[in-house]
Structure 1
Amino acid sequence: MIIGTAGHVDHGKTALVKALTGVDTDRLAEEKRRGITIDLGYAYAGDLGFIDVPGHERFVHTMLAGASGIDTALLVVALPEGIRPQTREHLQILSLLGIEHGVVALTKADLATDRVADVTVQMNELLSATPLAGAPMIPVAAPTGQGIEALRAALLASVPAARGSGGHPRLAVDRAFTLSGAGLIVTGTLVSGRIAVEDRLVLSPSGLELRVRGLHAQNQPADHAVAGQRVALNITGPRLSRDMVTRGDWVLHPAIHAPTDKIDARITLLPDFRLGPDSVRGPDSFRRMAPGAHALRQDAEVHLHLGAAHVMARVSLLDTDRLEPGGDALVRLTLRQRIGALARDRIVLRDTGATRTIGGGMLLDPFPPRRGRRTPPRLAQLAALEAADPIAALTGLLSVPPGWTDAAAFLRARNVGADEQLDFGSFVRAGGLFLLANTFDRVRDSIVAVLGAHHRAAQELPGLQAERLRMALPDRPPVAGFRGILDRLLDQGVIAQDGPWLRLPAHRISLSPQDERIWAAVMPLIAGERFRPPRVRDLAQALKLPEAAMRMTLKRLQRMGKVTEVAPDHFFLRETMAEMAAIAAATADADGLLTAAALRDRLDNGRKVAIQILEFFDRIGVTRRSGDVRRMKPDWPRLFGGGG
């Protein structure tokens, strides 16, 4: 269990931790000189780990960095002074962070025994509207040891449910330093998953790769650590150094490394919300609130705290234009810099001058869409994402427009590990999308309807290419997702594919008797020199037909999918196009690069024709040109009805 102290400056937090653990957490020379805690301190006693935080108002940002990873709060109130400003603010922060377990230590009991009853009443009243309502209150005196064992027992009795170790590992870095003979050390609370020696992880948001050389869990050497433990990692990496690590970074699995500078959240303003004098317009372009304002308006600038990270952010209200004290709202937070963030992370907001805490809440979507942030469908999506259970959240999300979501982004945002036994069987997964079964059926029916209408209007045509079909749908799935939907429908026999054309299985096209005769005569001529077929004028001369008539017949044959016009009046058989694409892929070098000269030599058809073929491949998406070379796209077989 990780216990975090909280309370006003000089109320005895550090002395209390020392009485409980024997460790003086004030390690800095300035802390010794001034007699106050300035930075985070750490101590351990058996299974209990303590994070001692500063109580001075100037160091609330440091307190936030330590409080974000705790299980239980040790709220400290000195009996001689009673409730003070940072008592209130620290309690507000604990509430905003969702800390539901805690014990109140009434310190300096040896100096003010007669104050116990009054301060207890005051504290009960203060706690009554918070998650810590009913927390035990223990009078203590650190110098004499009075109440210390009772406090220890109360802390042990407040143990919350163990954190689950599912999901990918994610450690919030709150300290980094180097040790002689060991190298770089980072410490923090492991908020999810497990980390083991030799794991290969990522420092986020920088993206630097690292390896775990060794670790301590709860201040003891170990070969692994699990969620909920204080962990020290000895890490190394090819570009890693002490200067590259800052408080607020994350050490995590590469699968959830996705820094963001925009997050959607639900926030609540504190009932006594007000902005300080530093909240007027500054040198930047953000609009800010006037001094003494009693509501949060659009584009207010705030300090945002998430985990141990601290960044500036602009607040855009999504479901209201004005947020009153004590109220809550959906918001888009635009950050000055990218941070690591996942769904259901707790955030705390402070005013622009960092003089007071104004509110906080829960992150709903760390990867929000750029457009449509205030539309009814988007607000309905965010309401669905408020569900704590991933399956419930996904069901709700897919029940509102557009009816699908990016599967990888959802699993990443929720930190769902590959080994977690969550039942996603009721959802359809196609082309990287999650859909409900009825949504998939709706898209299927739309595809069938569009193809049917096209066949009735143009029976002589073979069908529609994938992108034209997608654009004709009432709802347009993303390109990659649509391809996955088509693959499922092809496997089910709902639709069929002829080369690049999609059609209904029953659709058949036929040539006129005259075109049938011309096709029967011209097909052997094109096939005879398949990589260098005759041009239209040559075919017309060979069959003693008008050139215009030959051209029109070949155009109709192209619409039917039998031939392809690579360049003006230069038609190839459809099968030959697929063959040449396969040859191009096989001709590419070890780096996947293809030149016109290499393809010319393989096809033996001249440089001009080889360039025409490659330019056609560029247009239809078989290749991507870069200067004088091409690179084959990995999904090129799809354009010819194959896999890939």
Structure 2
Amino acid sequence: MADIVIGTAGHIDHGKTTLIKGLTGIETDTTKEEKTRGLSINLGFAYLDLPNKQRVGIVDVPGHEKFIKNMVAGLPGIDLILLVIDAAEGIMPQTKEHIDILSLLGIQHFMIVLTKCQTVDEDLKELVKEDIREQLADTALKDAPLIETDAVEKIGLDELKLAIQDLAETIPEKTVQEVGRLNVDRVFSVKGFGTVITGTLIDGTFRVGDELTVFPSGKKTKIRTIQVHETDKKEAFSGQRTALNLTNISKDEISRGDVLTNGAALEATWMLDAKVSCLEDVKFGFSLWDRVRVLIGTQEVFARLVPIGQERIEAGEEGFVQLRLEEQLAVKTGDRFIMRAYSPMVTIGGGQILDAVPSKHRRFKQDVLDSLKVKEEGNLDHLILDFLLNQQAIVGSLKDICDYMNLPKETVQGMLETLLEEKLLIQLSETEWIHVNKLQQIEKMIYQELETYHKAFRLRPGMPLEEIRSKVKQFLTPKQLDKLVKLFVEQGVFQLNNHRLSHSDFKVELNKYQEKVKNDIEKKLEKSGFTPIKKEELEALDAKNGRDVLEMLEDQSVVSLTFEYVISKKYYLKSVDLVKDFIQKNGAMTLADFRDMTDSSRKSSMLILEYLDEKKVTKRVENTRELMEG
């Protein structure tokens, strides 16, 4: 059975607080000012035990126009709304604004509670009920059950509890997620315990001992104890009204509007991408740079509106916007919010976040609009593709995708495998994925780099991989590049020889002068045998072509021992065989042993042996060399 939270809504003095006290016995007006003025200013909290023993949380939100932001603060995490209407007054202006807010916030489950029924005669009550149905005919409450009550006279309360119980059984269980998230709505200090906060756990799970991050400040704290409905618990789950006793943080370091999480999926942001709706009965629409009040979670911040893809969003219309915030927020994609005018403070619309940490957009760029439309549609496969395509990195990690989607690892892996079968993604490793369009981008980038290289160095067999790594290091790690190069070679896009990459159709073609230089170099190295030759000596054989031809021959018939000396590859391989045979027979070899075997100088022998050490054929042990293991 789902843990649910019930909220109240309705015009001032229509009996919300009295109704809750009648249902629960709990007084939710707790401050002296609230009791004196007879109206709710802050959020009030209670819990109700249903006939089937299920305990549900109740949030009593204020109804007065001045306290709308407190009302909105109580709505995140609420599953069922009791719209409270006085039988003597019917629907009032504040009732209508509450209905607008509830609709904009995506609340789906409603009950209409007619209060103070014993204070009116039957005919008036029936007229009020008829008017309610007529005014709500085009709203989400058109089919909501209506329960008649009088909390003072204890009439209708049992029927209301049964109706709540029946509706609660239809509300699905919330998705279980490891990462918990809570919007702080109250902060206070308890003598002997320290800082206590309350809020509805809107995602995941919190456990005693969890380390929490406070957003947007980034401060760290730990959970000492947890209470759910005044009962100590070891853990709290999504959907539960929760009180947390926190350690290592003072009351002054955390405030209403902050967000607590025990994971790394949140990030403070100065901008939000959103789909918004402008209410039909407002006197003005949304224009560029309009200053608005954004009510999200338990926080109110000011923001500037930037319509995307259109000049204005008129009354009754929907559209995409980017909100440029005046304070940082920490929210998630999918969160809903309300917008109120800067002045006068009236509700003008609301919306849903499509990207919680966007970059700044150009207003009429088509790919920006396409991306926002994908996010609006909410198709999970398309959202993954959109994330991988539009993130800055070429390769996306499984963790980043899970954090962005706010879904468990197992669920995301299943979707990734489906996209892989549809050839929309490429899997680089167990935890690394790349969009096929990004793959094409990096292929094109490497192709262009090679094209430039081939034109500049026509006799070189390809660009060294190390040089390519330096060109793409801001996009790819060396391991990621190696995996992509392997994939490209398997696909026949490029060819790789001796750690040099080239176009698949690239060939080194020598003219007759270059062919002569090639033969001269190889003959000179062959004649030199185990004695390395300086590169400049070989390059001098032909001032025009010598350097290019020598570079071409490296790793083919020539081996560079140092930046200065080269040797014939034939004699280098002979050196390897001689060294291995000698050491296998004798256990070790000295520089003098190698010099005698090759009839070369000490300097030549040292150049070759140090290169063998570098290539891990041998290792130096004091004044001898041994073979490297394996």
Same fold (TM over 0.5): yes
Tell me which residue corresponds to 1:198: 209
1:501, distance to aligned residue in structure 2 (A): 4.7
1:201, distance to aligned residue in structure 2 (A): 2.5
Matched, 1:413 2:404: yes
Secondary structure, aligned partner of 2:23: helix
| Consecutive unaligned residues in structure 1, runs of 5 or more | 275-293, 564-569, 576-644
In structure 2, relative to structure 1, the CA distance for the partners of 1:257 and 1:478 (3 Å cut) is: same
Which whole-Å deviations, capped at 9, do the CAs of 1:412-469 have from their partners, x for residues lacking one? Answer: 23223445465111232459975445x3674587478657856875541343467997
- Contact 2:517 / 2:546 at 8 angstroms: preserved in 1? no
1:135, distance to aligned residue in structure 2 (A): 0.9
Matched, 1:158 2:167: yes
Rounded to whole Å, the distance in 1 between the matches of 2:394 and 2:364 is: 19
Which whole-Å deviations, capped at 9, do the CAs of 1:624-643 have from their partners, x for residues lacking one? Answer: xxxxxxxxxxxxxxxxxxxx
Matched, 1:219 2:222: no
In structure 2, relative to structure 1, the CA distance for the partners of 1:22 and 1:299 (3 Å cut) is: same
Which whole-Å deviations, capped at 9, do the CAs of 1:50-97 have from their partners, x for residues lacking one? Answer: 101111111101111001221110111112222112111111111111
Rounded to whole Å, the distance in 1 between the matches of 2:241 and 2:527 is: 77
The residue correspondences of 1:31-46 to structure 2 (distance < 5 A) are: 31-46=34-49
1:318, distance to aligned residue in structure 2 (A): 0.5
Rounded to whole Å, the distance in 2 between the matches of 1:198 and 1:524 is: 76
Tell me which residue corresponds to 1:339: 329
Per mean C-alpha deviation after superposition, the further-off stretch among 171-180 and 324-333 is: 171-180
In structure 2, relative to structure 1, the CA distance for the partners of 1:158 and 1:516 (3 Å cut) is: farther
Matched, 1:299 2:289: yes
Tell me which residue corresponds to 1:68: 76
Rounded to whole Å, the distance in 1 between the matches of 2:266 and 2:370 is: 27
- Contact 2:333 / 2:355 at 8 angstroms: preserved in 1? yes
Tell me which residue corresponds to 2:24: 21
Rounded to whole Å, the distance in 1 between the matches of 2:190 and 2:496 is: 64
Secondary structure, aligned partner of 2:117: coil
Matched, 1:460 2:459: yes
Rounded to whole Å, the distance in 1 between the matches of 2:118 and 2:177 is: 46
Larger Rg: 2
Tell me which residue corresponds to 2:376: 386
Rounded to whole Å, the distance in 2 between the matches of 1:372 and 1:528 is: 65
Counterpart AA for 1:414: M
Tell me which residue corresponds to 1:107: 115
Secondary structure, aligned partner of 2:272: strand
2:480 to 474, 478, 484: 484
- Contact 1:462 / 1:561 at 8 angstroms: preserved in 2? no
- Contact 2:402 / 2:412 at 8 angstroms: preserved in 1? no
The residue correspondences of 1:410-559 to structure 2 (distance < 5 A) are: 410-418=401-409, 420=411, 422-423=413-414, 424-425=416-417, 426=419, 427-430=425-428, 434-437=433-436, 439=437, 442-443=440-441, 446=444, 450=448, 457=455, 459-464=458-463, 479-480=475-476, 484=480, 487-490=483-486, 493-494=489-490, 495=494, 501-504=500-503, 509=508, 512-514=515-517, 517-518=520-521, 540=536, 543=537, 549=543, 553-554=546-547, 557=550
Which whole-Å deviations, capped at 9, do the CAs of 1:234-292 have from their partners, x for residues lacking one? Answer: 2224xx22112121211113321211111111000011113xxxxxxxxxxxxxxxxxx
The residue correspondences of 1:607-622 to structure 2 (distance < 5 A) are: none
2:9 to 3, 6, 12: 6
Secondary structure, aligned partner of 2:161: helix
The residue correspondences of 1:224-373 to structure 2 (distance < 5 A) are: 224-237=235-248, 240-274=249-283, 294-353=284-343, 355-373=345-363
- Contact 2:301 / 2:326 at 8 angstroms: preserved in 1? yes
- Contact 1:141 / 1:147 at 8 angstroms: preserved in 2? yes
Tell me which residue corresponds to 2:599: none
Counterpart AA for 2:480: G
1:179 to 186, 190, 201: 190
Counterpart AA for 1:308: T
Tell me which residue corresponds to 2:100: 92
Which whole-Å deviations, capped at 9, do the CAs of 1:370-408 have from their partners, x for residues lacking one? Answer: 244531111111111123342243246678999978556
In structure 2, relative to structure 1, the CA distance for the partners of 1:396 and 1:485 (3 Å cut) is: same
The number of equivalent residue pairs is: 533
- Contact 2:309 / 2:365 at 8 angstroms: preserved in 1? no
Tell me which residue corresponds to 2:579: none
Counterpart AA for 1:226: F
- Contact 1:499 / 1:574 at 8 angstroms: preserved in 2? no
Rounded to whole Å, the distance in 2 between the matches of 1:48 and 1:559 is: 78
1:341, distance to aligned residue in structure 2 (A): 1.4
1:528, distance to aligned residue in structure 2 (A): 9.5
In structure 2, relative to structure 1, the CA distance for the partners of 1:212 and 1:544 (3 Å cut) is: closer
1:26, distance to aligned residue in structure 2 (A): 0.9
Rounded to whole Å, the distance in 1 between the matches of 2:312 and 2:538 is: 80
Rounded to whole Å, the distance in 1 between the matches of 2:192 and 2:147 is: 44
In structure 2, relative to structure 1, the CA distance for the partners of 1:102 and 1:505 (3 Å cut) is: same
Which whole-Å deviations, capped at 9, do the CAs of 1:163-194 have from their partners, x for residues lacking one? Answer: 11235211111112221222222211111111
Counterpart AA for 1:341: V
In structure 2, relative to structure 1, the CA distance for the partners of 1:413 and 1:451 (3 Å cut) is: closer
Secondary structure, aligned partner of 1:161: coil
